[in-house]
Amino acid sequence: METAMDQKIEALAEALAECDSVVIGAGAGMSTAAGLTYTGQRLRRYFGDFVRAYGFGDMYSGGFYPFSTPEQHWAYWSRYIWINRYAPIPNDAYELLLKLVEGRDYFVLTTNVDHCFQRAGFSKKRLFYTQGDYGLFQCSDPCCNETWDNCETVKAMVEAQGFIAQPDGTLDLPEDGHVLMEVPGQLVPTCPHCGRPATMNLRADATFVEDEGWHEASACYGNFLRTRTENGQKVLFLELGVGYNTPIIIKYPFWQMTARNGNAVYGCVNRGEAYVPRELAPQSVCIDSDIREVLLGLTGATVREGERL
């Protein structure tokens, strides 16, 4: 028997099959669905010592702690960056999404900073990561609009604590499980231009550096919207795991663009927060469920759709 959930997934599959283009908006929930969780086993495995010392309940909160030394700050952050940005993505959620839109006219707007879209094979030309990237450093008191790759530095920092970074990026604990909670002073990153401390290229305040790549991606997104949303084209705005932390980046613009175009469809998949204003309901498919489950359903539903033709 077909459930209400099946019907919604089928409605979304239909919107996907019929649209001219797809604009994906992805928030934190997308990476949670991909297994990049901030509590539980991953927290205990990689931050057990910090949890015992400071009582952090999740990785995210720990990131705000004012550690007393830069050596300890970077011990925490290098682990955080490595497991969320360089270690393999725990499951296939991003790949399933790529399978759905590959060969289609699509663009991705994301507030995620874990580089998962590129890592899963999405084209960089179809991607705008508005809030930065864990894999880039910038000057903490920006002396220039530059960012630089931090892979080697972060790897050196986790290894200096005793972790073993495998060739595929998996981070292992040493056999005795003992790791240091600080990095050597000489590994604390600094700006190559002015010598001030370096920091992650994340939009937390006004010091966020919008480098050349950021501006290029921003222009590509603007161009995509300009050329796809005019003349009543059939656009599917597919919002995945976007909460209410920064609704002005994805959620509200998606609602506005859907409202302005009677041929547009707004799809929203989010566990616990799949909501749409009443005025948009006739143009919307909202699914309150695990994103990966829905993507699995959609890939299956798409195949069924094709078989029927």
Footprint of Zn ion on this chain (CB under 5 A)? 139, 143, 191, 193-194, 196
Q: Which is nearer to Zn ion, 120 or 143 (CB)?
A: 143
Q: Which is nearer to Zn ion, 209 or 235 (CB)?
A: 209
Cβ atoms of 187 and 74 closer than 8 Å: yes
Q: Which is nearer to Zn ion, 105 or 146 (CB)?
A: 146
The nearest distance, CB 290 to Zn ion, in angstroms, is 42
Distances in whole angstroms, Cα of residue 289 to Cα of each of 6, 196, 285 = 11, 45, 12
Calculated CA dihedral for residues 295, 301, 307, 308, nearest 10 degrees: -150
The nearest distance, CB 98 to Zn ion, in angstroms, is 36
Cβ atoms of 113 and 100 closer than 8 Å: no
Task: Write the CB contacts of 126 (distance below 8 Å, at least 6 apart in sequence).
Answer: 106, 107, 108, 220, 224
The nearest distance, CB 194 to Zn ion, in angstroms, is 3
Q: Which is nearer to Zn ion, 190 or 302 (CB)?
A: 190
The nearest distance, CB 102 to Zn ion, in angstroms, is 40
Calculated CA dihedral for residues 7, 127, 215, 74, nearest 10 degrees: 100
Cβ atoms of 292 and 90 closer than 8 Å: no
Q: Which is nearer to Zn ion, 122 or 208 (CB)?
A: 208
Q: Which is nearer to Zn ion, 7 or 207 (CB)?
A: 207
The nearest distance, CB 153 to Zn ion, in angstroms, is 15
The nearest distance, CB 189 to Zn ion, in angstroms, is 11
Burial class (CB in 10 A: 0-12, 13-18, 19+), 143: middle
Backbone angles phi, psi at 266, to 5 degrees: -105, 115
Cβ atoms of 156 and 187 closer than 8 Å: yes
> How far apart are alpha carbons 79 and 179 in whole angstroms?
11
